[in-house]
Amino acid sequence: MRIDVVSIFPEYLAPLELSLIGKARQDGLLQLNVHNLRDFTTDRHRTVDDTPYGGGAGMVMKPEPWAQALAAVAAARPEAASADTEAPEAAAKPVLIVPSPAGERFTQATAQELAEEEQLVFACGRYEGIDERVMEWAADHFTVRPMSLGDYVLNGGEVAVLAMVEAIGRLLPGVVGNPDSLVEESHSDGLLEYPVYTKPSSWRDRDVPAVLLSGNHGKIAQWRRHEQYRRTAERRPDLLAEFDAGKLPRADRTAFADLGYDVVDGRLRRRPDAGAGRN
């Protein structure tokens, strides 16, 4: 996979040289280029922003430096000549991800989808955002996807790009040493992860749950599943509405019943008379 990031703070992306993602770059599994938007300006002051039409607070990023930068990265696609010699529809367009609190929600499913792409481009906005015409212009060259990490506001897209590149990059073949660790983790099955423990078995008067020391793999798997249900019900009950409960074994239905949920038409439904929990 090739990833291009355009930002006015390229140094912000330095952590992508560390750890798993840095290793993936060294191993050639991930080709990652960071570009300075100011290198695509033509004025002496390398201006990237201006005042908003219609008035209001803050500054807006000017369109032309963005068009120059994005045209350059689109021309440098992995399938080298395809951008300028073929019809745009002949090769898959690279995906342009625009981090923004006004974007579509970035989830594990988004990460999985984007991990299949040949080339991703991230356009890091600052200030009040990028002139909207850039998004319209870019649609000829890219599949444009404004993306948000969640319902809060960051100062710019850089921190969001660090998160998204890590979430996507670790799904690429060979990046995570043991691919099994991608299987049983939070959100891969729509539930939160079960709690984990390591040695010593007793620590500061707290014992590891006995079932984990039992050697009974069936019992352990069931306990972990039920802990996933308990945690998800407590912390993220919204996730349970999406959960496919149609084929649950009886012990799992009982576990959900104890948490105040019944299975109705394959879906979990919170029992109206159920006590304490949230929602």
Question: Residue numbers of the site for ligand 6GU (CB under 6 A)?
Answer: 99-101, 103, 147-150, 152-154, 156-157, 160
DSSP string, 178-213: -GGGGTSSTTTTSSPPPP---S-SEETTEEPPGGGG
Collapsed DSSP state (helix, strand, coil) of residue 98 = strand
Q: Name the residue nearer to ligand 6GU (CB basis): 73 or 124.
A: 124
Instruction: Give the nearest distance from C-beta 274 to ligand 6GU in angstroms.
Output: 33
Contact predicate 7/155, CB 8 Å: no
Minimum CB–partner distance for residue 5 and ligand 6GU (Å): 13
CA dihedral 220, 224, 230, 231 (to 10 degrees): 150
> Rounded to whole angstroms, how far apart are CA atoms 124 and 70?
12
Question: Cβ of residue 192: shortest distance to ligand 6GU, in angstroms?
Answer: 21
70 or 233: CB nearest ligand 6GU: 70
* Residue with smaller CB distance to ligand 6GU, 86 or 104: 104
Pick the closer one to ligand 6GU by CB: 67 or 159: 159
Q: Which is nearer to ligand 6GU, 131 or 227 (CB)?
A: 131
What's the one-letter identity of residue 105?
R
- Residue (63 or 103) nearer to ligand 6GU, CB: 103
Question: Beta strand pairing status for 261-264 and 267-270?
Answer: antiparallel
Q: How far is the CB of 267 from ligand 6GU (least distance, A)?
A: 29
Q: Is 256 helix (H, G, I), strand (E, B) or coil?
A: helix
Q: What angle do CA 38, 42, 43 make, to 5 degrees?
A: 95
Check: CB of residue 82 under 8 Å from CB of residue 90.
Answer: yes
Judged by beta carbon, residue 158 or residue 227, the one nearer ligand 6GU is: 158
CA-to-CA separations, 257 to 185, 222, 233, 261, 267, in angstroms, rounded: 24, 15, 11, 5, 13
* CB of residue 157 to ligand 6GU, shortest distance in Å: 5
Partnered with residue 143 across adjacent β-strands are: 95
Token pair 């890219």: residue: 142
Nearest approach, Cβ of residue 130 and ligand 6GU (Å): 11
Residue closer to ligand 6GU, measured from CB, 135 or 240: 135
Distance in Å, CB of 218 to ligand 6GU, minimum? 41
Tell the smallest beta-carbon distance from residue 126 to ligand 6GU (Å): 8
Nearest one of 108, 161, 102, 94 to 129, comparing CA atoms: 102
